[in-house]
Amino acid sequence: MTKLAELYSYREMIYSLVRRDLRGRYKGSVLGFLWTFLNPLLQLVVYTMVFSMIMRNNIEKYYLFLFVALVPWGLMNSAMVNGSTCIVGAPDMVKKIYFPREVLPLSNTLSNFVNMFLCFLVVFAVLILTGFGLNFQALLYMPVVMVTEFIMALGIALLTSAVTVYMRDVAYILSIVAMAWQFLTPILYSSDMVPVELLPIFRMNPMTPVIEAYREILYYKAVPDLTTLISAAIFGIIVLAVGELVFSKLQKGFCEEL
């Protein structure tokens, strides 16, 4: 609780770090901030071309099926890949100034979160412009799902950033782990395609209910299952708790290890 109060008093720092990160991301490029929108849009164009012309399958509008899951996966992916280096990447600050160390993974995850939100704007625009449409009642559940995923991503970022300080390899292993995890999550396929005997293991994946909820809302235009939402929330809290526990244990040695 005191941790939360302390983090709240450092909100200005979190805010300015997020702002610096977002502004600095495409710094020096001609189109600048526009890339935030162009990037997902161009990705979508590629998927559309590949999956409706070359690799056709029997899922209707597969490129949308894929895309509404891929955008939220992006947050988890960057929480692992970018998030893991957020402490190692700021040695001067960590070694010289006191601030709650959680600020770094938190602001990193927040800026990834904002980025995901901006991508969703592109998704919404595409869904409306292509005539696919949106269910506004289902859309009311979006924030809940997004917050749940944010909590989970924060937990992962806390965990990976702290461990990376002690073992720099983790940062490289993580990109492979992220890829494997992506394939084990129903992003490219739907959960119906998973063999029944593997389903219990499949349900252990905390990202499964999250991705399913997104797809429910945006692709099937339906209100997500309550059990899906609850299991996602439980997973989120567990991941965050583990992340914070490990982080608070390991952070005491940050100064010496860097």
Interface residues toward other proteins, by CB under 8 A: 9-13, 15-17, 20, 24, 27, 92-99, 167-169, 252-253, 255-256
Q: Shortest Cβ distance from residue 13 to other proteins (Å)?
A: 4
Looking at the Cβ atoms of 134 and 258, the one nearer to other proteins is 258
Distance of CA 65 to the CA centre of its chain: 18
Looking at the Cβ atoms of 226 and 252, the one nearer to other proteins is 252
Q: Shortest Cβ distance from residue 167 to other proteins (Å)?
A: 6
Looking at the Cβ atoms of 3 and 56, the one nearer to other proteins is 3
* Rounded Cα–Cα distance for residues 148 and 153 (Å): 9
Could you tell me what percentage of the chain is helix, strand and coil, using 3-state DSSP and rounding each to the nearest 5?
A: 80, 0, 20
Spatial CA neighbour of 84 closest among 121, 66, 109: 109
Q: Shortest Cβ distance from residue 11 to other proteins (Å)?
A: 7
* Rounded Cα–Cα distance for residues 39 and 10 (Å): 32
Looking at the Cβ atoms of 3 and 20, the one nearer to other proteins is 20
Looking at the Cβ atoms of 82 and 164, the one nearer to other proteins is 164
Q: Shortest Cβ distance from residue 122 to other proteins (Å)?
A: 27
Q: For residue 60, which amino acid is it?
A: E
Q: Shortest Cβ distance from residue 239 to other proteins (Å)?
A: 23
| Helix boundaries (H) for 167-251 | 170-184, 199-203, 207-218, 226-250
Using an 8 Å Cβ cutoff, are 146 and 68 in contact?
Answer: no
